[in-house]
Amino acid sequence: MKKFNLNLVYYFIAIYEEKSLTRAAERLDVSQPSLSAHLKNLRAEYNDLLFERRSHKMEPTPIANDIYYRYKAAYDSILSTLPETSDFSPQECDYTFRIASMNIASVFLLPAVMKKIQSMAPDCVIEVVNAKGEMASEIREKRIDLILDITGAHSNLNSKPIWEDELCVVCSQGNDQFTGDLTLNEFLKSKHIMLARDGHKRNLLALSHSPYFEQRKVARKLNTIQDFADSIHHSSWLATLPKSLLSCCFNENEIKVYPLPFHYTKPSISLYWHQNRSADPVHKWLRSCFETA
């Protein structure tokens, strides 16, 4: 049986995930010349370059792509057999966590989670930035720890749904144009306020939720949910929102709330992270704060 240095698996995974010898060496706490020597041994074993430098990145070859998933599965399987040995203590943690969040999650999900984190780890710092359409490199390079975004927004990352809610239609209490339940015809004839994707003008309630959302007559597009109250109170416009946002954004005595007059797919929000953080005990604790809040 051919002998193989199993430590090379560990080195290979780090290079593949970091796409940089410098970052991989820092992650492994080894020198870069030492890591380069291990990569040379790997290349000899497979008779393949495995990684090629392109635009300051170590891009994997087809053979490297093929063996990564086998290496990763085997590595994770071995880790799962080990007892928890980390001495991580939230009370002693002084990390700065950087979280990218879409606006509506910042309004009603993050406050409870941040309160929980601060109670368990009072020396931690939470930095919140706006979630963008493409954040793969930022989260892979650990410049972002977690992303809170609509489910399905980042298919190349690990994810877990953490929130789902029903939708409703809101208008000003002074709006007397509807005599009973809102009908589909009234919904389509009315003018609407739309919550756009943070940093974009894309409709958050896209075709995957219902084609009727695309047929609305949009009077105003807003990037932040906090701006909805003034727009509703001073107009005859409608807004479609998750029910859990009502108490965060409105004085409920000043609005009327209607059920949507058609079937739709409930919107949901997921937690996203890079696979290179999955086994990190600090990161696992951070994710658990969101999953149980």
> What amino acid occupies position 135?
M
State the pTM of this model.
0.68
3-state secondary structure of 255: strand
What pLDDT score does 98 carry?
A: 92
Q: Where are the beta strands (DSSP E) in 82-182?
A: 96-101, 125-130, 146-150, 158-164, 167-172
How far apart are the C-alpha atoms of 235 and 71, rounded to whole Å? 59
Concatenated DSSP letters of 168-184: EEEEETT--S-SSSPPH
pLDDT tens per residue, range 193-236 = 988 764 444 556 665 688 898 899 999 988 788 888 888 988 99
Instruction: Decide if 145 contacts 273 (C-beta within 8 A).
Output: yes
What is the token pair recorded at 280? Answer: 């990190």
Q: How deeply is 165 buried, as exposed, middle or buried, from its count of CB atoms within 10 A (0-12, 13-18, 19+)?
A: middle
3-state secondary structure of 2: coil
pLDDT tens per residue, range 72-131 = 888 877 766 665 545 678 888 888 899 999 888 888 889 999 999 999 999 988 999 988
